[in-house]
Amino acid sequence: MKFIIQNAKTLKLSVLAITLSLPLSAFAQKSKNQGKEENRVEINYKQRHSKTIKNQNLYADGIKIKRDLSLIDKAQEARILDADEIPADEIYGGIWSSSRVNAYGDLQNKIDTFKVDLSSFVMPTMGHITSNFGPRRRRHHYGIDLKVQVGDTIYAAFEGKVRLCQFERRGYGNYVVIRHPNGLETVYGHLSGFIVKEDEIVKAGDPIALGGNTGRSTGSHLHLEFRFLGQPINPNKIVDFENKVAHRDHYLITPNTFNGTATNNARYARSSSGTNKYVSGKVNYHRVKKGDTLGAIARKYAQQ
């Protein structure tokens, strides 16, 4: 009888040991599987962010990208002008005036050709064109108008130094003129306020002003000009306004750049005689009435 009881106790202890050992085994197996899954995730991560080309291991993760961008920023900062430096001073004959936009007189005849670096160009605003460069009623429009709302931020097109922050009641309204090391000057007109001040150094893309509707303006917009030695250049020659980028990295200025007040639109092109070869005779205007047809209108004015 004693033997049976002892065997029963031994059996109970064996069952209890087996029962306790099962969760521990499952836990160990689960931990082992988790370790495999973690290893698998790490492998996938490396596959997404690393690449082998011609036996060269190229590793580009977020840290390296951030470091590269930091180096680019530092390189751009290294190119910034000194506080006392005057951009393109040798081209402008030492003239640094805060009196008016074109303060250069006959200096415009001193350079025949000049290569302008456009590689760092930044759009001053992303608005669409509302008025183009060229003849406008009884005067010439020396820039291009881009739609903005009052208070929209306006950005510097290139690195440079602010030459003018002024107000002109019957023209530009509040306007900023920046001289750039590439030889150009940019004009930003009809502003509601200034962010920069005269003689301040700016980088390409820095905020310089707020869009507005000041001066001779019929609605809020940015009036943008590109000038070289005071002479206006058609902005369409420099910027692809549809895609918001410069046409190319460089632009060559020649005496022909300013022929016909620098316009490159076909309807404003002028011949050597100075007359518009696309228009002859006088201009007629016709108010369309009910029942008019194109054929009838054409016949009417063909007889005049």
The Cα 104–Cα 231 span in angstroms is 9
pLDDT tens for the chain, 304 residues: list them: 544 555 555 656 565 565 555 555 554 555 555 554 444 444 343 333 333 334 444 444 444 445 555 554 554 554 578 888 899 999 998 899 888 999 887 665 567 789 999 999 999 999 999 999 988 877 899 999 999 999 999 999 999 999 999 999 989 999 999 999 999 999 999 999 999 999 999 999 999 999 999 999 989 999 999 999 999 999 999 999 999 999 999 999 998 888 765 433 333 323 233 333 333 344 455 667 777 787 777 777 665 5
The CA-atom distances, in angstroms, between 159 and each of 72, 219, 231 are 15, 29, 20
Whether the CA torsion 18, 19, 20, 26 is positive or negative: it is positive
Q: Are 121 and 158 in contact (CB under 8 A)?
A: yes
Domain boundaries, the chain: 105-263
pLDDT at 296: 76
The Cα 276–Cα 36 span in angstroms is 80
Q: Are 225 and 152 in contact (CB under 8 A)?
A: no
pLDDT at 48: 37
- The fold for domain 105-263 equals Glucose Permease (Domain IIA) (2.70.70)
The Cα 162–Cα 176 span in angstroms is 7
Distance of CA 166 to the CA centre of its chain: 24
φ, ψ of residue 269 to 5 degrees: the values are: -65, 145
The DSSP letter of residue 111 is -
Looking at the DSSP bridge assignments, the partners of residue 144 are 224
pLDDT at 144: 95
pLDDT at 240: 95
pLDDT at 264: 38
